[in-house]
């Protein structure tokens, strides 16, 4: 339970730092937010918890699979917000694009694994 609380506290501090930085400097906040902090922190916790090298490698591979859909989500969100879209509608639309690309990727992976 203590390790779980430490994970929550560490994550909250990082998110708080990034949002404060973004409030003061959107450019620097955006650059820091774009860093793979969640992936790296998760990787560190997995290693500290004794996960095998194969399990850690599978985690990293899965993060790579998520990048195309995440990139599209951020691109759609940027375009919609920069053109005056409401935050809620933009997030919903970008989220739907993310889901569609993720599902398409899953289907392509299934197709390729049968070849």
Residues 45-66: tens digit of each pLDDT: 899 889 999 999 999 988 888 8
Which segment of 5-9, 34-38, 59-63 scores lowest on mean pLDDT?
Answer: 34-38
Compute the distance between CA of residue 45 and CA of residue 8 in angstroms, rounded to an integer.
Answer: 12
**CA-closest candidate to residue 101, choices 75, 70, 69:** 69
DSSP H helices, the chain, are 2-24, 26-34, 37-48, 53-82, 87-114
User: What pTM does this model have?
Assistant: 0.72
Residue 87 is predicted with a pLDDT of 96
Compute the distance between CA of residue 53 and CA of residue 20 in angstroms, rounded to an integer.
Answer: 35
């Amino acid at each position: 339970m203590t390790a779980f609380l430490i994970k929550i506290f560490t994550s909250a501090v990082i998110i708080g730092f990034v949002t404060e930085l973004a409030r003061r400097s959107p450019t620097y906040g955006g650059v820091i937010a774009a860093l793979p902090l969640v992936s790296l922190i998760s990787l560190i916790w997995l290693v500290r918890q004794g996960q095998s090298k194969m399990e850690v490698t599978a985690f990293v591979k899965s993060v790579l699979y998520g990048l195309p859909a995440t990139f599209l989500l951020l691109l759609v969100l940027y375009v919609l917000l920069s053109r005056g879209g409401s935050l809620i509608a933009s997030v919903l639309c970008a989220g739907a694009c993310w889901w569609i690309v993720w599902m398409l990727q899953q289907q392509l992976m299934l197709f390729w694994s049968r070849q």
